[in-house]
Amino acid sequence: MTFLGFDRRDASTVWNFFRMFLRDRFLGSRLGTVWAVVNPVLMLAIYTYVFGFVFKARLPGADSTLAFATWLIAGYGPWLAITESLNSAASCVVSSSGLVKNMAFKTECLPLAASMLGLVPLSISAVFAAVLMVVDGNMPSWHALAAIPGILLTFAFVAALGLGLAALTVFVRDVSVMLPNLLMMVLFASPIFYPLDAMPRLLQVVAAWNPFFLLAEFVRAPLVFHRIPPLSQWLYVAALTAVLGYFTLTLFRRLKGNLSSML
């Protein structure tokens, strides 16, 4: 059985590459892949301390400052996953040039595996936000289950983008250098660190359909606000992901015959 040209063996290849990327990220450290959990937990704890106990920012209608920290982390987790995935996917083919030249496998498995790296901080941030909610007395409801398809849709979206970035970076190495700055601009242009209604009225209409903002809301709204985003938003992001994925997968497969000569 195949799906988009991938079979069960390719799924195993993606999983093995994911494990390899995760292990190589912390190669030489004593704790190894334990840092994949420790690093985001430490960062999220700092955000909680700064916004919950130093600045004491409050959400409208909330009684405690911990509610704002929970809201921030629940939305920042998906963004953290997006940046981790896209930065890793953009450079994965170049950094794995030895494998591409000397092993026979579907090269498109590399950006798919690299995109999975974002699932680690995303899952950790979702659990961290849920723990903060319990501490704050705001128990998660059944709506939190909707965060699971939100996480899966986030992976599908970044995998679609990652395929295109991975192919382009082989031919234009500046892509991986420019990408972190570009993502920082997108972050502050998206209502993730601040509420949507804090933006000018005209920009709110545009930002409400920003896929990066919606992916954050697909996790934040079920967790923090106990509601499921409208079906139209899910269908919009799913359709955008499907179109983008088809385009980037086709592009990658057309270019991959020239990858070895460019590495």
pLDDT in tens, 34-61: 777 778 888 888 888 887 777 776 666 6
Q: What is the pLDDT of residues 235-256, one digit of tens each?
A: 999 999 999 999 999 888 888 7
Q: Which domain does 243 fall in, by range? A: 8-262
Residue 215 included in any domain: yes
Residue 2 included in any domain: no
Residue 237 included in any domain: yes
> What are residue 49's phi and psi, to 5 degrees?
-65, -45
- Angle at which helix 119-135 crosses helix 147-171, to 10 degrees, equals 150
Residue 132 included in any domain: yes
Residue 195 included in any domain: yes
257: tokens are 């015959």
12: tokens are 């195993």
How many structural domains does the chain have? 1
Compute the distance between CA of residue 49 and CA of residue 27 in angstroms, rounded to an integer: 30
Average pLDDT, stretch 154-167? Answer: 91
Residue 186 included in any domain: yes
Residue 3 included in any domain: no
Average pLDDT, stretch 142-162? Answer: 90
**pLDDT at site 212:** 92
pTM for the full predicted model: 0.87
Residue 235 included in any domain: yes
Tell me which amino acid residue 44 is. Answer: L
